[in-house]
């Protein structure tokens, strides 16, 4: 018999006030518990969704003694489930912030944290250069956590464009990979589904992508479409557009081994060298 686990994804329209966002997380966690979920994932920047460094400086606290962390631990404990905060901003000593994912056990204990590795630094046509690294410090380590029913790999938003991270997580034992995000509307329309399905197919993992959606108080608009992708690449659950809500899915974990047996790309991969360029 296939081992099964029920999971929940929260699609949010997070604003600038932590209290309102925390109340929404608490409400959705209670709904997820009632639906039988053992694990719930929120989007990137769930607790405060500020647009820039100045906005974050007014609202983000450091790690030690952080009242938002304390409240989230209570929510996990009250609902007796694994609460995975896709990310929140943590103030660092150098004036920048960590874009940090936090996984709470049903006891409220922090099981694991992950700081977003890949930062979006780009020169965009028609606008000024965008430098995420001016606001955030990139993480250094990939992270796995054992939830008992499955092994979870961590990532955040822009990470999804870097397939090597997902392959490394799968090779290290991940069966499920979380992708909390706050995708813009144009990139979401073009890339959201195809990238997430590709990461599932390449790794033979379930992909859980909880997203921000709609027009936010910070002026941004995000794509929504929180979804769950099975290891063979099919979308098995998806939110209705960009509206806030809860996505519930049951993962049949035997599908991981089945997909990897049918297409053993993880086992068949080989190291190789790229020779020096030969000019004609």
Is 162 among the domain residues? yes
Q: What's residue 191's pLDDT?
A: 98
Is 276 among the domain residues? no
**Of the candidates 12, 9, 37, 40, which has an alpha carbon nearest to the alpha carbon of residue 24?**
12
| Each residue's pLDDT tens digit, 215-251 | 999 999 999 999 999 999 999 999 999 999 999 999 9
Is 161 among the domain residues? yes
205 is catalytic: no
Is 273 among the domain residues? no
Tokens 């905060």 correspond to: 85
Number of domains in the chain: 1
Is 87 among the domain residues? yes
Q: What's residue 126's pLDDT?
A: 62
The 8-class DSSP code of residue 215 comes to E
DSSP-derived secondary structure for 226-241:
-EEE-TTS-EEEE-ST
**Of the candidates 130, 212, 207, which has an alpha carbon nearest to the alpha carbon of residue 166?**
207
Residues of the chain with pLDDT under 50: 1
Domain boundaries, position 227:
4-266
Is 166 among the domain residues? yes
Q: Which candidate in 4, 24, 44, 202 is catalytic?
A: 44
| Each residue's pLDDT tens digit, 46-71 | 999 987 778 888 889 999 999 999 99
44 is catalytic: yes
Measure the CA–CA gap between 64 and 82, rounded to whole angstroms. Answer: 21
4 is catalytic: no
Q: Is 140 exposed, middle or buried (0-12, 13-18, 19+ CB in 10 A)?
A: exposed
CA distances (Å), origin 217, targets 6, 15, 45, 119: 32, 5, 13, 23
Q: What is the CATH number of the domain that holds 117?
A: 3.60.110.10
Q: Which candidate in 24, 157, 205, 238 is catalytic?
A: 157
Q: What's residue 68's pLDDT?
A: 97
Q: Which candidate in 3, 24, 74, 116 is catalytic?
A: 116
Measure the CA–CA gap between 117 and 175, rounded to whole angstroms. Answer: 20
**Dihedral through CA 175, CA 41, CA 134, CA 57, nearest 10?**
-150
Is 279 among the domain residues? no
Is 251 among the domain residues? yes
Q: What's residue 88's pLDDT?
A: 97
């Amino acid at each position: 018999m296939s081992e099964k686990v029920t999971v929940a994804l929260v699609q949010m329209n997070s604003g600038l006030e932590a209290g309102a966002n925390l109340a929404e997380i608490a409400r959705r966690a209670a709904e997820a518990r009632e639906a039988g979920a053992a694990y719930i994932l929120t989007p990137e920047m769930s607790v405060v969704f500020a647009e820039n460094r100045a906005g974050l400086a007014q609202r983000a606290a450091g790690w030690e003694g952080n009242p938002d962390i304390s409240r989230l631990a209570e929510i996990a404990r009250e609902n007796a489930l694994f609460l995975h905060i896709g990310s929140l901003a943590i103030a660092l000593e150098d004036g920048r912030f960590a874009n940090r994912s936090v996984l709470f056990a049903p006891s409220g204990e922090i099981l694991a944290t992950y700081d977003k590795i890949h930062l979006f630094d780009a020169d965009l046509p028609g606008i000024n250069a965008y430098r995420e690294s001016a606001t955030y410090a990139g993480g250094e380590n990939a992270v796995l956590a054992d939830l008992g029913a499955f092994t979870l790999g961590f990532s955040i938003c822009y990470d999804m464009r870097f397939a090597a991270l997902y392959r490394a997580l799968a090779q290290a034992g991940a069966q499920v990979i979380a992708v909390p995000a706050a995708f813009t509307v144009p990139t979401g329309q073009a890339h959201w589904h195809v990238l997430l399905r590709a990461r599932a197919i390449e790794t033979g993992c379930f992909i859980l992508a909880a997203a921000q959606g709609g027009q936010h108080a910070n002026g941004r608009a995000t794509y929504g479409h929180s979804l769950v992708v099975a290891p063979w690449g099919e979308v098995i659950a998806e939110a209705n557009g960009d509206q806030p809500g809860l996505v519930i899915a049951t993962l049949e974990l035997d599908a991981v081994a089945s997909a990897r047996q049918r297409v053993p790309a993880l086992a068949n991969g080989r190291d190789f060298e790229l020779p020096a360029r030969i000019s004609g």
